[in-house]
Amino acid sequence: MNCELREEIIAKLISSNPDDEALRNFKEAFNEFREFMKKVVIKDEGEVVLRLKKIEEDLTLISAFPDLFKKNIITIGGGFSAGKSEFINSFSNIKLPVNIEPTTAIATYVLKGNNEIIACSYKGAKVDLKEIDKNFLSILSHQFIKSFKFNIKELLKYLVVATKIDYENICFVDTPGYNPSKKEEDFEIASKYLKNSEVLVWLIGLDSSGTISSSDLEFLEKVGLDDKRLFIVLNKADLRNVQDLTDVIEEIKEVLEDYSIEYEGISAYSSILKKEFLFDKKSLFEFLKQENSEKLIIQDIINELKRIYLLYKLSLEIEKKEKKEIYNTLQSLSIDLLEEDLENENAYMRLEDLKSYFRFRKDNLFEVLDKIFFKFEKALISLFGINASLNLNFYIEDVDLTEDIYIQIDKILNYQIDDDVEFEFE
């Protein structure tokens, strides 16, 4: 039975193709932009590609499950066996598989919906796993995944589970854990979704730890917390008495203060009992209630695309201004030679060659850049079914060659009057 099931899953993931034209258009624009990038040199080119890939992944996910674009996504992180899946299970009526090793664990999005289990492939296609087996989650064990004889994550990028859940506007993301003894091996796997999250719930299993570990702190430092709201959950709190829990919370507070880590709250919680025993600053339930608000992911995508657009537009403007200044200096030298009536034809011709080199010949790239980003905009409008204008009519009064380009980008975005768009649903 399992053999037939594996074969059917593999066949479906390989044969299924994305049927969303808007997503295909975005990918096409992305490919055009990568060709464009070869003609404009910036120091952070690799980072831009990663950011666009993240947008592409978000759109692929939303294409497979449109309800996601209004959800506030909360990423659940922590060490291997901290109880992340059980934690999510405690707020829903499903049973996510537990203790699957990071190398084979599949990131799973859990949100309110009508009992669906969707697999999203790396091609952007979606497969309804309940059509293959109505009880698919119950067979998704570590042993079952390993039985594929290859890493199924090469085909299956993530799962989306729609079920009865306590919070209307929250989507929990169950991420692979990490094993402190295999830091380097597990870090990239476990941190991928955490790096891009705005809201992070970090779990510490009280069955194996009495406080937040140095490996946890190191992991959080690498992930980066500057742009995140962090909530700490001491999971499996039913294994400790109240005094122990009080001591652990106090110790963690001191450690977080020593490391200058800001946090929303600390909760001693039992996923099995669905009960909070103690908390500091803010209750877990208060925190989740606070986060249970509708959020349009598209606004984040639009802002990110604007930043990338401006990065390249300003880079072109800077190159144009730099070359113009050098050209004007060489032109002045040429005129000086003529006025001084210096009969040095060789020097004059060398100046002309230099002037030719410093002529700016990339004016057409401004138009190419605009066309590509209008394609991005068209794809967003089609995918989300709303008026999602990027509003690329930025007025760039001057380019300061001495000021950091990212500071200039922030200034331009801050001056844009309608930066916060009122979306119109079609």
More confident residue, 153 or 284: 284
Q: What is the reported pLDDT for 87? A: 93
How sure is the predictor about 114, in pLDDT bands with cuts at 50, 70 and 90? confident
51 close to 304: Cβ distance less than 8 angstroms = yes
Most confident of 143-157, 173-187, 277-291, 338-352: 277-291
3-state SS, one letter per residue, for 358-417: CCCCCHHHHHHHHHHHHHHHHHHHHHHCECCCCCCCCCCCCCCCCCCHHHHHHHHHHHCC
pLDDT of 304 strictly over 50: yes
Most confidently predicted of 214-223, 238-247, 320-329? 238-247
pLDDT value of position 371: 94
Least confident of 56-60, 132-136, 183-187, 208-212: 183-187
The CA distance from 23 to 124, in Å, is 8
Stretch among 280-284, 315-319, 403-407 having the lowest mean pLDDT: 403-407
Which pLDDT band holds residue 134 (cuts at 50, 70, 90)? Answer: confident
pLDDT at residue 103 above 60?
no
pLDDT tens profile 263-275: 999 999 999 999 9
Residue 203 · residue 235 · CB < 8 Å = yes
Q: What is the mean pLDDT of residues 196-205?
A: 90
Find, among 194, 219, 115, 93, the residue nearest to 160 by Cα: 115
Tell whether the model's pLDDT for residue 175 goes beyond 70: yes
What pLDDT, on the 0 to 100 scale, is given for residue 294? Answer: 81
Per cent of the chain over pLDDT 70 is 84
Confidence grade of residue 11 (pLDDT, cut at 50, 70, 90): confident
Residue 423 has what pLDDT?
Answer: 43
Q: What is the pLDDT of residue 424?
A: 46
> SS in 3 state form for the chain?
CHHHHHHHHHHHHHHCCCCCHHHHHHHHHHHHHHHHHCCCCCCCHHHHHHHHHHHHHHHHHHHHCHHHHHCEEEEEEEECCCCHHHHHHCCECCCCCCCCCCCCCCCEEEEECCCEEEEEECCCCEEEHHHHCCCHHHHCCHHHHHCCCCCHHHCEEEEEEEECECCCCEEEEECCCECHHHHHHHHHHHHHHHHCCCEEEEEEECCCCCCCCHHHHHHHHHHCCCCCEEEEEEECHHHCCHHHHHHHHHHHHHHHHHCCCCCCEEEEEECCCCEEEEEECCCHHHHHHHHCCCCCHHHHHHHHHHHHHHHHHHHHHHHHHHHHHHHHHHHHHHHHHHHCCCCCHHHHHHHHHHHHHCCCCCHHHHHHHHHHHHHHHHHHHHHHCECCCCCCCCCCCCCCCCCCHHHHHHHHHHHCCCCCCCCCEC
Q: What integer is the mean pLDDT of 362-378?
A: 90
pLDDT for the residue 141: 64
Range with the poorest average pLDDT among 213-217, 250-254, 364-368: 213-217
Residue 241 — very low, low, confident or very high, per pLDDT cuts 50/70/90? very high
The pLDDT value given to residue 417? 44
How many residues in total does the chain contain?
426
Burial of 233 by CB count in 10 Å (0-12 exposed, 13-18 middle, 19+ buried)? buried
Higher pLDDT, 73 or 187: 73
Query: Which of 20 and 273 is assigned the larger pLDDT?
Result: 273
Contact 217, 259 (CB under 8 A): yes
Domains and CATH numbers, the chain: 70-113+164-291 (3.40.50.300), 297-415 (no CATH)
Beta strand pairing call for 156-163 and 170-174: unpaired
- Specify the pTM: 0.78
